[in-house]
Structure 1
């Protein structure tokens, strides 16, 4: 796919799309059922299905039981920290490997045609990628884990309402389908 068909590069090499992204048809009024039906496969496949599978596997195999999380203990918090670090490496690392190491897409659709610096004293380790990895793993993942651990503790101690899939499968299934729509609403405005 050639990015020049969908946009242009300025004299610095920065890419700009020809037109603004359109709203998802589910948010267009009056409702256009044919457009919504044509949009649905792209809504589910591949990304939202992949995110759902990753979430489901994480939930079933890599999240401690709710009873375990009634007290703040290092064992279950460390498990969540390691899971989050692993997910970060898996997801972002996969994108980085394909787009920046293998450069499969070259600079197509890359807003800034310049590649990350590898020998620049402005970055902590001289490398833009190494600095990004450091701050992601040593700052973002621990903060994410702290919020998640606090939330699980609040659920486990009934300070926040917890909806169990086993007791409310239809409600939970609807929530799973609505979450990506909620995200789409915020990205299409």
Structure 2
């Protein structure tokens, strides 16, 4: 880490931030293998969310045959499950990091507390605002998209992929979903920063300059539909119900985990689970940078990458002045 560091942050990870080695030349097989391993294996948010999806499919998912017709019973079951999942994940992370401050300021990026009050927030406060949009419209849209896709699958409007018939492709889809999310997220996020969409849609999410777990899915309903809409790629490539569950849970739950405001979960003074990314934390403070993620280096290619260094910050300030016409 450079001796010269960004000002105004409580915790900084190692900088400059690095994007996926899969898009660097010459290719480095060791770095690629390490990136893939660290992204997925041992204790990672991707593997934990996949475990949650499997548990939901085995114990809390109505049979596919039930989805052939829309019915209050099976749809209500899925909606209740999703509400409880959102409450469990976001609620437990909020309790750990903010209510009980179990690790204090350790690994917390922004030194400031979440805003208790603010006229810009629905219901007058940041946490109430965030919970309102997450549990209100967010879970409703999440469930609606699941219902539509399962209905399409049950009625033969989408190709059913099973492990028995196509084991390699069945497993590969799980690894492709985060890559697709990175590709899709940059495109829609960049569009949401166009002035009209920003003012009328995306500005609601950017009320959160300092973020917490409930901030991740705190979005205008239009943005929630656009963000979660990437799951409809399965209409083209097919899916198993487990793919649909994982895909939407990955979108929704990883939005929560990556907005914790902390680099990770400390247990016995060791970071046991990587969570919030400084890459996206900077986007919430500086706005016109880091529209994508580190999986695909869109921001590098289009000149909007902030790698966490002072030099990058100066470049981004100049870029912001040009965008604002100053």
Fold-level similarity (TM above 0.5): yes
C-alpha distance 167-71 of structure 1, shift in aligned 2 (>3 A): same
1:146 corresponds in structure 2 to: 144
Separation (CA, whole Å) in 1 of partners of 2:4 and 2:158 = 46
2:17 corresponds in structure 1 to: 21
Q: Does 1:34 align with 2:30?
A: yes
- Larger-Rg structure: 1
1:167 corresponds in structure 2 to: 165
Separation (CA, whole Å) in 2 of partners of 1:58 and 1:4 = 45
Moved over 6 A (4+): 3-6, 14-18
Q: 1:66 aligns with which of 64, 67, 83?
A: 64
Deviation of 1:28 (Å): 2.1
TM-score normalised by structure 1 residue count? 0.81
Tell me how large the CA RMSD over aligned residues is: 2.9
C-alpha distance 120-177 of structure 1, shift in aligned 2 (>3 A): closer
Q: Is the 8 A contact 1:15 1:110 kept in 2?
A: yes
TM-score normalised by structure 2 residue count? 0.50
Q: Does 1:103 align with 2:209?
A: no
1:112-135 Cα shifts (integer Å, max 9, x gaps) = 432223345554444321221122
2:293 corresponds in structure 1 to: 187
1:112-160 Cα shifts (integer Å, max 9, x gaps) = 4322233455544443212211221111100111111111111111112
Q: Is the 8 A contact 2:2 2:15 kept in 1?
A: no
C-alpha distance 143-32 of structure 1, shift in aligned 2 (>3 A): same
Q: Which runs of 5+ in 2 are unaligned?
A: 184-291, 298-326
Q: Which runs of 5+ in 1 are unaligned?
A: none
C-alpha distance 40-122 of structure 1, shift in aligned 2 (>3 A): closer
Separation (CA, whole Å) in 1 of partners of 2:148 and 2:3 = 47
Aligned length: 185
